Amino acid sequence: MERQAGLCCLSLCLLLLFLSCDSTPKVKVRKQSKIEIPPFRFNADSAFLFIENQLAFGPRVPNSIGHKKCAQWIVRKLKSYGAKVTEQKADLMAYDGKVLKSVNIIASFNPKAKKRLFLCAHWDTRPIADQDNTNQDLPIPGANDGGSGVAILLEIARQLQKDSVEYGVDLIFFDAEDYGAPRSHPKAGTSDTWCLGSQYWSKHPHRAGYNPKYGILIDMVGAKGATFAMEGNSMSYAGSIMKRTWQIAHQLGHSQYFIYDKVAPIIDDHLFINQMANFPCIDIVHYDPMAKNSFGDYWHTHDDNIEVIDKQTLDAVGQTLMGVIKSEGLN
Ligand SMILES: [Zn+2]
């Protein structure tokens, strides 16, 4: 995941604006009637354990042993929770000419239902620590960037097995999201070096005629004190879904995480899903305009380890997604 090319100046402007008058632009939300949210469960301890499980495989860099073993583990877990699992394998060309043996993993609940929504995250981790001051050539642990999104989706799968819904839910684990060109590389300005797995899926959905109502991407959703702002591409392509999701988060008591700050568009899987597949999709992503790189100081460094994870953040995001799923049939 990366800031969108050409928008660094905009980020800087937003930062300067914030520093000068302490007022980041806010998305205006009209007063909405309350959304009915049926009861649900989400266990943050379980999600935390799923991050530890992933870290035990080592970095999940495409073509590595850890990557292969982690894919097998994700598939096994999803099958054990009763999902219909599709492994979408593809050889994808990275910016440096390397062929990445990638696999998108799709877990379908209630696979025959026509009405569907999808939740997604990337499961691969970055092969380099290009934002770190040391050992930049070594891969990051990816506890938050990769690990947290997968963990929340797995916990949702575990809950859906016990507490099914009438329509279809697809949980999509994208590969090769984080193999993008570093900022020092000539191809750095090319947005499509990122999100290779979701680009492939957007051109070749796992099922012919797949036509979901909408999707929600989660990325870096477990860090202590994270804030999730209203990211520009999500607002452009699926603003009403974003506002509804934020409303559900607020009704569930998570207003400190889900803030109404309007922030610059970023390159993440949702961008290609919106542009290539034409499925409306928002991004819940840790975005901190005050951090030196907008995504938290751990981002693409060796500090992205279990120490940055907070169960309360996992809980806020997991509960919000369960609230979205459970309320979908009623509203
Ligand atoms: Zn990343």
> Given the DSSP bridges, would you call strands 116-122 and 214-219 parallel, antiparallel or unpaired?
parallel
Q: How far is the CA of 327 from the centre of ligand 1 (A)?
A: 31
Lowest-pLDDT range of 25-39, 44-58, 112-126, 220-234: 25-39
Q: How far is the CA of 91 from the centre of ligand 1 (A)?
A: 20
pLDDT in tens, 116-171: 999 999 999 999 999 999 999 999 999 999 999 999 999 999 999 988 788 999 99
Q: How far is the CA of 36 from the centre of ligand 1 (A)?
A: 35
Lowest-pLDDT range of 14-28, 113-127, 275-289, 301-315: 14-28
**What CATH number corresponds to the domain at position 161?**
3.40.630.10
CA pair distance 277, 210, nearest whole angstrom: 10
Q: Which residue intervals of the chain are DSSP H helices?
A: 8-21, 44-55, 65-80, 149-162, 196-203, 232-251, 269-272, 311-328
Give the CA distances from residue 33 to residues 81, 116, 230, 244, 249, in Å, rounded to whole numbers and listed in that order.
Answer: 35, 24, 20, 11, 14
Q: Give the range of the structural domain holding residue 136, as residue numbers without chain letter.
A: 2-328
Beta carbons of 57 and 150 less than 8 angstroms apart: no
Beta carbons of 228 and 242 less than 8 angstroms apart: no
pLDDT top residue among 164 and 43: 43
Q: How far is the CA of 236 from the centre of ligand 1 (A)?
A: 22
Q: How far is the CA of 2 from the centre of ligand 1 (A)?
A: 7
CA pair distance 152, 317, nearest whole angstrom: 8
Q: How many residues does the chain have?
A: 331
Q: How far is the CA of 301 from the centre of ligand 1 (A)?
A: 10
Spatial CA neighbour of 155 closest among 257, 54, 258, 251 = 54
Q: How far is the CA of 145 from the centre of ligand 1 (A)?
A: 5
CA 108 from centre of chain = 18
Beta carbons of 169 and 118 less than 8 angstroms apart: yes
Q: How far is the CA of 331 from the centre of ligand 1 (A)?
A: 34
Q: How far is the CA of 126 from the centre of ligand 1 (A)?
A: 6
Average pLDDT (23-48) is 88
Q: How far is the CA of 295 from the centre of ligand 1 (A)?
A: 9
Q: How far is the CA of 14 from the centre of ligand 1 (A)?
A: 22
CA pair distance 63, 200, nearest whole angstrom: 17
Q: How far is the CA of 219 from the centre of ligand 1 (A)?
A: 8
Q: How far is the CA of 10 from the centre of ligand 1 (A)?
A: 20
Average pLDDT (234-260) is 97
Q: How far is the CA of 172 from the centre of ligand 1 (A)?
A: 17
pTM of the model: 0.93
pLDDT of residue 2: 74
Q: How far is the CA of 113 from the centre of ligand 1 (A)?
A: 33
Q: How confident is the model at residue 227 (pLDDT cuts 50, 70, 90)?
A: very high
